[in-house]
Structure 1
Amino acid sequence: MPQLITGRRAAAAIVTAALLVPLAACGKGADKKKDDGDAKSGGTTKAELTVLAASSLTDVFQKAGALYEKDHPGTKVKFSFAGSQELAAQVREGVPADALVTADTKTMDSLKVDTGAPTVIAKNRLVIATGEGNPKKITALKDLAKSDLKVVLAASEVPVGRYSKQVLDAQKLKVEPVSQEPNVRAVLSKVELGEADAGLVYKTDAATAPKKVDAVDIPDAQNAVASYPAATLKASEHSAAAAAFVKWLSTPAAQKLLRQAGFQQP
């Protein structure tokens, strides 16, 4: 009799297991479908994104991140700001991140093996940043070549430094900077602190310190246009959420913030 009971129990267990297997499979399929649906719609998928972004995007991207999180519950956006060349080095070293936005297409193009297809989200131009009130009466690029003027520039490997060299070389101007900085915010800081009389920065950066610096416009014919491409990183652990954020940067809501910050249309 004990063996009979054991046999019945074993048979019942086999039948129960057979019934549960398809149910479990259906459950997994439904969950996967739900996850896929959330990822495609930008819905409630939980994700914390790390976005590597050029220093000149610091202020506007902090606002953009807050707006994105508000409109996309469950997604958190964390930014890491630095010069584009530093960001590229981080990507090559495998620093965990989900998306990248640089201040030039050259840097982005050098990372094709690591990124998805880039999209230009904004453009920018250079201005001459001077101390408040423009005490040295700087009016044009040629003034930067004066021997008694302390000028600070970004290093040539930095996008803004490369653009600066481009516009100065085009005007055949020889400028000896008192320092060469790792990013545009460092250039702006030198002028703000009075450690330099002038520096070449993006128009949007000068606009972040209206009470500390003046901005002298450079004519379009003498200027350079900076393009800002954005792309997902192939190593991202949140590829769908990263793609959604990069796509959002071209939407009217994001573009409005960029225009308000002084960036030009892509």
Structure 2
Amino acid sequence: MLTMAMLALAGCGDDDKSDGKKDDKKVEAGAPGAASNAPAAAQLKGTLNVFAAASLTESFTALGKQFEAAHPGVTVKFNYAGSSALAGSINQGAPADVFASADEKNMKLVVDAKNADGTPTAFAKNTLRIAVAPGNPKNVKSLADLKQGGLKVALCAPQVPCGAAAKTAIDAAGVKITPATLEQDVKAAMTKLTLGEVDAALVYRTDVKAAGAKVVGVDFPESAQAVNTYPIVPLAKAPNEDAAKAFVAFVLAEPGRTALTTAGFQAP
């Protein structure tokens, strides 16, 4: 009996040590085995608040549903907006668990403010296309065509990743475009086009794909000089730390790659 009791106590000691190691272990997004280091499905619960670039709306909404199915105790809520607005909200103390930016510049603002938990990991790339109405009634074939008189063009504001990319591409083309409107995120720019308020919009190719038959996409060579890299990171003050790390691992693993490729994103 004494021997059995001592063995039982020794087993408990091993469990305590194992638990201690697990609690201390940090998940490094994108690192080998990151998904396996994430908390088990049965342990995850509560609301997960993900701040994500507007261009990720379709792919991340699909991933959110998959993540909820894999972790029944978790409810995923998304805040989609321009990355500059999201970074500003996070740095002002908004309760968020994960940040997925459409560029590295706005992610750096969060990192520099010490609001990122670990090093952000690139998970996708995106390029620009000119979106026009079905049938391309204005016969837009290049960036130079966007400067023609009477043509109304929607661009993203300069501080927004799609706006910064647009400026890079336009400068590379050596043209001057006077936009009819400057929008705070890429979805707003696309909406101006689908509502008929503008004749063209400079948006991501993923947004053209998501719009389906509502628009036509026009490729232009300067887009190769304005490629945006998307990084993701769990946040340092995440209210739901375990779920945040598990979601980042989920995006970086096969479910994320499939959803992003389907939406038209390129591998990082």
Fold shared per TM-score above 0.5: yes
CA apart distance, 1:218: 1.9
Q: Which residue of the partner structure matches residue 191 of structure 2?
A: 189
The correspondence of residues 110-121 of structure 1 with structure 2, limited to 5 A, is 110-112=109-111, 113-116=114-117, 117-121=119-123
Which residue type is aligned with residue 41 of structure 2?
Answer: G
Q: Which residue of the partner structure matches residue 44 of structure 1?
A: 42
Contact 1:55 1:183 (8 Å CA) reproduced: yes
Larger C-alpha radius of gyration, 1 or 2?
1
Q: Which residue of the partner structure matches residue 228 of structure 1?
A: 230
The superposition leaves residues 142-168 of structure 1 with CA deviations (integer Å, 9 ceiling, x where unpaired) of 111112211111110111001001100
State the TM-score, normalized to the length of structure 2: 0.84
The runs of at least 4 consecutive aligned structure 1 residues that moved more than 3 Å come to: 32-41, 220-223
- 3-state SS, counterpart of residue 80 of structure 1: strand
The superposition leaves residues 52-80 of structure 1 with CA deviations (integer Å, 9 ceiling, x where unpaired) of 00000111111000011111232221111
* % identical aligned pairs: 40
Question: Which sections of structure 1, spanning at least 5 residues, go unmatched?
Answer: 1-25
The root-mean-square deviation of aligned C-alpha atoms, in Å, is: 2.3
Contact 2:169 2:223 (8 Å CA) reproduced: no
Q: Structure 2: how far apart are the matches of 1:168 and 1:222?
A: 12
Structure 2 vs 1, CA of residues 151 and 221 (structure 1 numbering), >3 Å: closer, same or farther? closer
- 3-state SS, counterpart of residue 76 of structure 1: strand
The correspondence of residues 1-266 of structure 1 with structure 2, limited to 5 A, is 33=19, 36=23, 40-45=38-43, 46-112=45-111, 113-116=114-117, 117-219=119-221, 222-266=224-268
CA apart distance, 1:136: 0.4
Which residue type is aligned with residue 244 of structure 1?
Answer: A
CA apart distance, 1:198: 0.5
CA apart distance, 1:121: 0.8
Structure 2 vs 1, CA of residues 178 and 220 (structure 1 numbering), >3 Å: closer, same or farther? closer
Contact 1:98 1:233 (8 Å CA) reproduced: yes
Which residue type is aligned with residue 168 of structure 1?
Answer: I
State the TM-score, normalized to the length of structure 1: 0.84
- 3-state SS, counterpart of residue 41 of structure 2: coil
Q: Aligned pairs, how many?
A: 240
- 3-state SS, counterpart of residue 209 of structure 1: helix
CA apart distance, 1:253: 1.7
